[in-house]
Structure 1
């Protein structure tokens, strides 16, 4: 059976599974739509959380970043993984004990303010749409390459699939669909990794293979071999970094606290029966997440070795099919600058306006390349870092069924997160803006209808951004983490751990952190991208890490304002105590 037929079978089979699960678990009430009825088992919820967490960025992009950036990309591993630990230990159990449906619900109730709730909804919607545009674009790219359809049609198909199990199933349908998607994506990620590790080191376990010797007779370990190969070509060593210590610290911390404030992950802890189950499901999710995150460094290293070996100093007429296939979608390219027909892979951009290795794009906002060669660079080869994981099986000439599995896994990763984000958007509109703020008199049936209509509208907007990405889509990925770190995280943290924090302080903190971070990132990413360098950054902190300063501003202003305004009502102080103090603690102390 040929590769294309297998891809159709694998992708079609998984889509049928997702739709079947969604129809079986269709939500019949607002509680089932928002929090899956609140009765999901911790292990099941942990698996669904892992799928929600590991988006196309984790599945497709992270190993590609590691492949091309080496040590510098470690901030993503540390930040995203550390952020989940922070969320699991510091926030999740308390939020679950609070017992509300959404993050704005918590903020609005804790700070006894409709204004605070609306500010939280604005932050949440902006963060969610930033993410979901990238997910839908990823769906379109995977479809276009593996199913040989236009990117626009690929996005539309993805919209249809998400519509069925997000709009009809709600959180209940999404939860059980994400369990299936986790199984697909982790199997798709690990199987090629086993193959690659065995081929390169003779060790089938990639985590061990990364620290093993390359079986090419050189006696070098994998990282030593990579350092030697890249420095010979003129690149910096794979294991050396180019970022300053303060920037590494701030990016890592911004990713951590931003991750801990991401609403589509937080909402998963409302779906379990009790607070102790939230802690258990967080632990299980960490186990499931660790499978991919501990494998990604090995996948990135193996991918880079294979890529350089397969492409550099190769006659273009003899290059493997994977390169020319991806070239048809503008994601790889060769520009024969010296006319010898040999592909020279060197530092620098092969084309003017092409994305560089840190992920920035040209003015079009597309990944596709400009046709003008860059005369200042000797590099003749372009490859988009986001294709490395998807192309790995083809580069390594793995069996066709592995390539088909990779296609299904990439779609599962993108669709699982897209569905979670859509639900967050719809619940914020129907529950936080309508039911809790502007139309408190609507019935549960009307609220459920509003949630489904909001999810439908969100799918249409997300699909539009996937089909027609504005020039800044690829550049505003930093917005999501920076804005979450600077706006939602401090409000949630102080809402749990500070009885004295009042509504005026929380609102002033969220707005100030949001505005500062937005202006800083917008200036360097949109207004003056030419000035985006360490020489011009505040304290040497890049836009990707500036959320930390926004967070500090949020905390400082919130605390200052709360000191000069009225204290929270007594019932709010008691509410904070009830969130933090375990049940039965008073009896144990004789109270």
Structure 2
């Protein structure tokens, strides 16, 4: 059976499973659509949360970013994982006890203000729409290679599948679909990593293989990778070469942005009791760790494999043989396959029929001596690395098909969660709570489904012109969540006196300054005609990257809120009593949704 047919069967079977689950778990009420009637088992919810959490950025893009930067991009791992711990310990149980359907619902009621609700809705929409672009980008990348269609067609197919199971099933259908998607994505991610770890180090577990001996050279794997990168003129893999300030701020931005993600928070509204929210968080962290501890090994091993593919004599000698690169005629099939997508490209600058890969900004001595013309791998989209990994390592066809299904599962699971958060904010927080409080349950359910349809259409349109790599776009979304929603939620739970004026001002200041900074220093968010983020590092304020500014926005949010609080009356006594009640164990799990 040829590879395309195998890919089609595996991916088609996974799509059929998702649609079948949606039909089986069709939402019949608003409680089903928004919170799966609060009847989800904690273990099931943990797996669904992990799938919701591990998006295209985690599955497709993160290992690629680590592979081409090294230690500096470990911030993605530290920030996202640390942020989930923050969410699980500080926010999720209390938000579940408050007993609402959405994040704006909590903010609107806690701060006794429709204005606060509206600002929260706007913040949620800006963040979620930015985030969902990364998922659609990831889906397009996966489709363009494995189903041999262009990225635009792939986006339309992905949108159709999400439309069917998200609109039909709501949170109830999405929950069980995400359970299936987690199983698909974790198996798809782990199996290739195990094979590659065995090939390079003889170790079954990639987590151990990363710190083991490279079989061919006899050196520790990371030492060998450092060695070949330095010989090619690149920075060593394990060193820290960037700004420490940006590293700290970026990690903080990802952490508190994670804790403010509405599509993850609403997952904790689906369990029966507050104690179940805590159990869900624990299980989700276990399920997430299964992938996140493998990602650094995938990145390092894939980078080494790419280099030894271009310089094949390295495998035989254990040393980097710069004089004998691979010829264009002899390049492996994985390169041919990905060249057809436009995401990988070579240029024979020297006109000698071979591929040379090195850092032309800091070329090795032999390049200068022999007058080489520069790096001939002119395009390598980092989002392809995980998807191409099985082909690079020459793994069996069924593994390649599995990675295709896993990449699509990761993108679609998070996209569905985000789209549900968007549609719930529109139908429940705007229409039901503000525009038409008398709307019937049937009418609200219809509004939720129509909102979902419009959100999918918008996400598809924006996905056709993505502003960067999937993980970078997601990082921007985390910055927006960090600067707007997280401080309001934290103050809503832990500051009894915080009033509506302070919360609204804080959200506006945090979101406004972050959006302004991003648009100012990223050149209107993307460079027209490309999918690359603008590089204006020389002009950054105090050297702070736009990807790191979410932490600064959060600080400004807190500061503005407390300044306004000092100038106005604190929250009314009944609100202070309400805040106190959600922090007291007595009565846990008894709060009912309105």
TM-score w.r.t. the length of structure 2 is: 0.91
Deviations 1:181-216 (A, max 9, x none): 000000000000000000000011100100100111
Q: Which residue of 1 aligns with 2:462?
A: 465
Answer yes or no: is 1:328 the counterpart of 2:340.
Answer: yes
Q: Which residue of 2 aligns with 1:196?
A: 196
Q: Specify every segment of 5 or more residues in structure 1 that has no aligned partner in the other structure, as ranges.
A: 351-374, 586-591
Answer yes or no: is 1:453 the counterpart of 2:413.
Answer: no
Q: Which residue of 1 aligns with 2:8?
A: 8
Which of 321, 326, 340 aligns to 2:352? It is 340
Q: Which residue of 2 aligns with 1:213?
A: 213
Give the conservation status (yes or no) of the 8 Å contact 1:486–1:517. yes
Q: Distance in 2 between matches of 1:447 and 1:125?
A: 19
CA apart distance, 1:470: 6.5
Give the conservation status (yes or no) of the 8 Å contact 2:7–2:147. yes
Q: Which residue of 1 aligns with 2:428?
A: 431
SS in structure 2 opposite 1:460? helix
CA apart distance, 1:453: 0.3
Q: Which residue of 2 aligns with 1:583?
A: 586
Q: Which residue of 2 aligns with 1:550?
A: 553
Deviations 1:312-340 (A, max 9, x none): 42111110011121111111111111111
Answer yes or no: is 1:228 the counterpart of 2:227.
Answer: yes
Q: Which residue of 1 aligns with 2:387?
A: 390
Answer yes or no: is 1:510 the counterpart of 2:522.
Answer: no
Deviations 1:52-97 (A, max 9, x none): 0000000000000111010111100000110101101110000000
Q: Which residue of 2 aligns with 1:559?
A: 562
Provide closer, same or farther for how the CA distance between residues 473 and 227 of structure 1 changes in structure 2, counting only shifts above 3 A.
closer
CA apart distance, 1:539: 3.0
Give the conservation status (yes or no) of the 8 Å contact 1:343–1:380. yes
Q: Distance in 1 between matches of 2:193 and 2:475?
A: 28
Give the conservation status (yes or no) of the 8 Å contact 1:349–1:377. no
SS in structure 1 opposite 2:214? coil
Q: Distance in 1 between matches of 2:201 and 2:358?
A: 26
Q: Which residue of 2 aligns with 1:414?
A: 411
Q: Distance in 2 between matches of 1:302 and 1:282?
A: 31
Q: Distance in 2 between matches of 1:154 and 1:380?
A: 29
Deviations 1:250-307 (A, max 9, x none): 0000010011111110110100011111010000000000000000000001100111
Q: Distance in 1 between matches of 2:147 and 2:545?
A: 38
Which of 308, 327, 337 aligns to 1:315? It is 327
SS in structure 1 opposite 2:522? helix
Deviations 1:102-147 (A, max 9, x none): 0000000000000110111111111111111221222122112111
Give the conservation status (yes or no) of the 8 Å contact 1:111–1:506. yes
Q: Which residue of 2 aligns with 1:574?
A: 577
Provide closer, same or farther for how the CA distance between residues 376 and 31 of structure 1 changes in structure 2, counting only shifts above 3 A.
farther
SS in structure 1 opposite 2:345? strand
Pairs aligned (count): 560
Deviations 1:222-274 (A, max 9, x none): 10000001000000000012212111100000010011111110110100011
Q: Distance in 1 between matches of 2:576 and 2:339?
A: 60
Deviations 1:530-587 (A, max 9, x none): 99555433333211111111111110110010111122111110110011111169xx
Q: Which residue of 2 aligns with 1:380?
A: 376
SS in structure 2 opposite 1:26? coil
Q: Distance in 1 between matches of 2:471 and 2:175?
A: 28
Q: Distance in 2 between matches of 1:48 and 1:155?
A: 23
Provide closer, same or farther for how the CA distance between residues 492 and 389 of structure 1 changes in structure 2, counting only shifts above 3 A.
same
CA apart distance, 1:8: 1.1
Q: Distance in 2 between matches of 1:337 and 1:191?
A: 37
SS in structure 1 opposite 2:349? coil
Answer yes or no: is 1:305 the counterpart of 2:317.
Answer: no
Q: Distance in 2 between matches of 1:584 and 1:526?
A: 51
CA apart distance, 1:463: 1.3
Give the conservation status (yes or no) of the 8 Å contact 2:155–2:464. yes
Give the conservation status (yes or no) of the 8 Å contact 1:197–1:203. yes
SS in structure 2 opposite 1:318? coil
SS in structure 2 opposite 1:342? coil
Q: Which residue of 1 aligns with 2:269?
A: 270
Answer yes or no: is 1:287 the counterpart of 2:286.
Answer: yes
Correspondence list, 1:245-264, <5 A:
245-264=244-263
Q: Which residue of 2 aligns with 1:31?
A: 31
Q: Distance in 2 between matches of 1:480 and 1:527?
A: 15
Q: Distance in 2 between matches of 1:55 and 1:307?
A: 25
Provide closer, same or farther for how the CA distance between residues 584 and 73 of structure 1 changes in structure 2, counting only shifts above 3 A.
same
Q: Distance in 2 between matches of 1:582 and 1:150?
A: 54
Q: Which residue of 2 aligns with 1:371?
A: none
Provide closer, same or farther for how the CA distance between residues 57 and 531 of structure 1 changes in structure 2, counting only shifts above 3 A.
closer
Correspondence list, 1:112-123, <5 A:
112-123=112-123
Correspondence list, 1:485-496, <5 A:
485-496=482-493
Q: Distance in 2 between matches of 1:302 and 1:23?
A: 41
CA apart distance, 1:478: 3.8
Give the conservation status (yes or no) of the 8 Å contact 2:62–2:471. no
Q: Which residue of 2 aligns with 1:94?
A: 94
Moved more, 74-83 or 563-572: 563-572
Q: Which residue of 1 aligns with 2:69?
A: 69
Give the conservation status (yes or no) of the 8 Å contact 1:144–1:151. yes
Moved more, 133-142 or 481-490: 133-142
Q: Distance in 1 between matches of 2:108 and 2:555?
A: 22
Q: Distance in 2 between matches of 1:475 and 1:386?
A: 11
Q: Distance in 2 between matches of 1:34 and 1:468?
A: 30
Provide closer, same or farther for how the CA distance between residues 377 and 245 of structure 1 changes in structure 2, counting only shifts above 3 A.
farther
Give the conservation status (yes or no) of the 8 Å contact 2:131–2:473. no
